[in-house]
């Protein structure tokens, strides 16, 4: 006479092994994405423009504040001429825009002595 537990065991074993195989989901190994480039990498053109624009703008702002000329950052010749451009770094348009933005920030800091 067979034990009812033995019969149940032999019926349950095939169900356990087939349950994992009957899954409709297929999983594939996906490698992790490549690392992102550092966000602090600034092109040399923009770095040069920002450095020069801020330096020249802060000097001009300090000069205008000392003379009592009033806040006039866009009247300075350097704002329009954007000195320090080197064609070896790249196109002029991005340099001009970065220079003028940094110039205005520098002028503000120099004029208000912040």
Q: What is the mean pLDDT of the chain?
A: 82
Q: What is the mean pLDDT of residues 51-57?
A: 96
Question: Is the predicted pLDDT of residue 62 greater than 80, yes or no?
Answer: yes
Paired tokens of 88: 């070896």
d(Cα 72, Cα 107) in Å, to the nearest integer? 9
The Cβ of residue 58 has, within 10 Å, a number of other Cβ atoms equal to 21
Is the entire prediction scored with pTM above 0.75?
no
């Amino acid at each position: 006479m067979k034990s009812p537990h033995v019969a149940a065991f032999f019926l349950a074993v095939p169900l356990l092994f087939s349950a994992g195989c009957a899954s409709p989901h297929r999983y594939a190994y996906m490698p992790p994405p490549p690392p992102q480039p550092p966000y602090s990498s600034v092109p040399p053109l923009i770095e040069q423009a920002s450095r020069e624009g801020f330096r020249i703008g802060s000097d001009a702002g300090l000069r205008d504040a000392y003379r009592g000329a009033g806040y006039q950052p866009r009247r300075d010749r350097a704002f329009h001429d954007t000195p320090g451009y080197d064609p070896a770094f790249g196109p002029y348009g991005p340099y001009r825009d970065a220079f003028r933005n940094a110039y205005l920030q520098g002028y503000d800091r120099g004029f208000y002595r912040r």
